[in-house]
Amino acid sequence: MAILPIVTYPADILEKQCEPVKRFDHQLIKLLNDMYDTMIDADGVGLAAPQVGVAKQIAVVDVGDEHGRIELINPRIIEARGEQVGPEGCLSFPGLFGEVKRANYVKVRAQDRHGRLFTLKATGFLARALQHEIDHLNGILFTSKVIRYYEPEELEG
C-alpha cells in the first residue's frame, strides 16, 4: 500500500475529461488500492483518479455505510431523481466547503476492478458522493456548482 500525493486546485488535470479504462490489469488494482488508502488517510469519503494525477475514469467511494468500499471504473449515471441541498467539500480544495444541489437518487452503471459491469442505486449522502466523484472524471469541480460557501464558524461542531 502507498499513500499518494493529492493534487490540489489549481491543476490542469483536475479540469479535463478523463480517458476510459480499457485494461483491467495488476496496475489498475494497485492504483485502486493506493487510492483507497490515500482517501482513508486523508479522511475523505471519495477520491477520483485525476486527484492523484491519473487522467482515467477511476474513482473510489466509502461513506461508511453498509455499501462499504465502492470502486468505480468507467462509471455513468443512468438515472437521477429528486433533489438534495447540502454541504460538500473536496480533498483537492482543503478547508473549502460549499452548499451544493445534487440529485437525491442516482443509478450508476460501472465496471469493477475485474471489468465486470454492475449497477448501483444510491440515495442521500452516498448519491451525493457518487455524483461528486463522477463529476471529477468529466473535469467538473464542485466549486462550479456551489450555491454559497460556508464560513469556517458555520462548520464547527
> What residues form the annotated binding site for Fe cation?
90, 132, 136
Comparing CB distances to Zn ion, the nearer of 115 and 139 is 139
φ and ψ at residue 2, rounded to 5 degrees: -150, 145
CA–CA gap between residue 41 and residue 38 (Å, rounded):
5
Q: How far is the CB of 20 from Zn ion (least distance, A)?
A: 20
Place of cell 455505510: 65
Task: List contacts with Zn ion (CB under 5 A).
Answer: 90
Place of cell 468500499: 69
Query: Any catalytic annotation for residue 66?
Result: no
Q: How far is the CB of 111 from Zn ion (least distance, A)?
A: 21
CA–CA gap between residue 46 and residue 141 (Å, rounded):
13
How many angstroms separate the Cα of 53 from the Cα of each of 32, 49, 104, 149, 154? 13, 7, 29, 26, 32
Comparing CB distances to Zn ion, the nearer of 34 and 115 is 34
Comparing CB distances to Zn ion, the nearer of 90 and 134 is 90
Catalytic residue among 83, 133, 153, 154: 133
Residues in the chain: 157
Q: How far is the CB of 91 from Zn ion (least distance, A)?
A: 6
Positions marked catalytic: 133
